[in-house]
Amino acid sequence: MLCTWMFLLIVLPALFNFSFSRADTDENTATYASRQRETEWETWDLPQKQVLDSFYTLYPIYRNSHAYDTSAPSTRRMMAYYELVSQRMQRFAAQTAASRAQDIQLIRQSYRYNPAIYTQSLLNSVAHTDIADYAYFQQQTALFRKHWKSFLYSYHFNDKKFGADDYRSLPVYHPSYDPDSRQQQIKGICYLLLLATGYY
């Protein structure tokens, strides 16, 4: 019995930690930073009209009589430039996100046979710091960022002045947590109790 618990609580978590450790984390970070610089330079070298066309393809509502104003006072080209860089980097980051999602799925599938990792995950879930809450947080902040940009773009690209009264209509971010976390916590606690009492 002691050997079984040692395997479940020490050996198995160590094996999982070893298999999911990313030895190339620093390399991936450096690669991402290098790719971002290259993307910024490549996008900067594009013709201004092409950059603006790319932006208006995403946001056709802002294509008006001043759509291609690239004079010194106009910041349309810069706004379009940063939007295009962001879109290109999102496509690049999606590859890493897909790989990370696969790792997370494998970890979740191991909960039944890995009580140490499951317990740690439940504690993180109670504190709202586990991978599910983080993924939900990323999703919610991405939606808010999109809402925030849409709000500001409506002023900027329509040459609308931002007045004192407009502060009342600024988008507000309301933090929230994964709505399924409570159900997962109850399920996990019941499983661990059954495991501790020898009924599982």
Residue 22: pLDDT band (50, 70, 90) is low
Give the tens place of pLDDT for each residue, 79-96.
899 999 998 888 887 877
In a domain, residue 15? The reply is no
Identify the pLDDT of residue 175. Answer: 87
116 and 197 housed in the same domain? yes
Instruction: Domain count for the chain, please give it.
Output: 2
Task: Show which of 49, 84, 109 is a domain's final residue.
Answer: 109
45 and 95 housed in the same domain? yes
- For the record, the structure tokens of 111 come out as 């909960």
Identify the pLDDT of residue 8. Answer: 58
Identify the pLDDT of residue 112. Answer: 73
In a domain, residue 2? The reply is no
Give the tens place of pLDDT for each residue, 115-154.
777 888 888 888 888 877 888 888 899 899 999 988 988 8
Return the higher-pLDDT residue of 83 and 1. Answer: 83
Is residue 70 within 8 A of residue 17, CB to CB? The reply is no
The C-alpha atoms of residue 130 and residue 3 are separated, in whole angstroms, by 29
64 and 144 housed in the same domain? no
74 and 155 housed in the same domain? no
Q: With 60 as the cut, is the pLDDT of residue 54 above it? A: yes
Task: Show which of 109, 134, 167 is a domain's final residue.
Answer: 109
**Segment 15-22 mean pLDDT:** 59
Identify the pLDDT of residue 26. Answer: 47
**Segment 156-168 mean pLDDT:** 84
Domain interval for residue 81 = 26-109
In a domain, residue 116? The reply is yes
41 and 62 housed in the same domain? yes
Burial classification of residue 102, based on how many CB atoms lie within 10 Å of its CB (0-12 exposed, 13-18 middle, 19 or more buried): exposed
The structure tokens 């294509």 sit at 63
Q: With 50 as the cut, is the pLDDT of residue 180 above it? A: yes
86 and 128 housed in the same domain? no
In a domain, residue 150? The reply is yes
Residue 40: pLDDT band (50, 70, 90) is very high
The structure tokens 């990792």 sit at 117
151 and 69 housed in the same domain? no
114 and 175 housed in the same domain? yes
73 and 119 housed in the same domain? no
Q: Which of 35-44, 95-104, 158-167, 187-196 has the highest mean pLDDT?
A: 35-44
| pLDDT cut 90: percent of the chain above it | 18
In a domain, residue 7? The reply is no
